[in-house]
Amino acid sequence: MLLQLIKQIQTENIKLPYTIHFLILNNEEIGYGGNSTITEETVEYLAVDMRATGDGQSTDEYTVAICAKDFNGPYHYGLRNHLVELAKKNDIGYQIDMYPQSGSDASAAIKAGHDIIHGLIGLGIDSSHAFERTHEDSSKNTLQLLYYYLLPDS
């Protein structure tokens, strides 16, 4: 999904007013994620990960999940509200949810002491770890939210 987003930005010749680092990692569940690669200039860290459906969750297989809180604590309130407003403005299906049994690279960065605005979004999926299932609408909604998040003045 991130590679598709990069391709879309290049194809549409979008000039972003800031530097973006795309990190593709697989260590968030053990607590260190991308912590060592965060530059001093980093202001915001938006993690993108799968968000499992389940009992007590509002996440579904059709929308993008915007995380309010995980087992490390709450995500940045202002960034979460910005993501919700982008979703509303651009007719993107979304759900706000909490994930008390998991974390993200963004929350691991906060835990490591980085002073950044942090957030988490992801595809709503059924199951995880090798047998993940989602609807293409969840992928489309997640990609659209990322796209509008990166656009200047969106």
pTM above 0.75, yes or no: yes
Q: Is 120 helix (H, G, I), strand (E, B) or coil?
A: strand
> What's the CATH code, domain 2-9+43-150?
3.40.630.10
**Is the pLDDT score of 40 beyond 70?**
yes
Q: Is the pLDDT of residue 86 over 90?
A: yes
Where is pLDDT greater, at 56 or 87?
Answer: 87
> What pLDDT does residue 31 have?
60
Does 37 score more than 80 pLDDT?
no
Examine the pLDDT at 46 and tell me if it is beyond 90.
Answer: yes
Per-residue pLDDT reduced to its tens digit, 102-154: 888 888 888 888 899 999 998 877 777 667 767 788 889 999 999 999 987 76
Q: Which residues are catalytic?
A: 28
Q: CA-CA distance, 136 to 6, in Å (whole number)?
A: 19
* Burial profile 5-26: b = 16 or more Cβ within 10 angstroms, e = fewer: beeebeeeeeeeeeeeeeeeee
Percent share of the chain, pLDDT over 90: 45
The structural domains of the chain, with segments of one domain joined by +, span 2-9+43-150
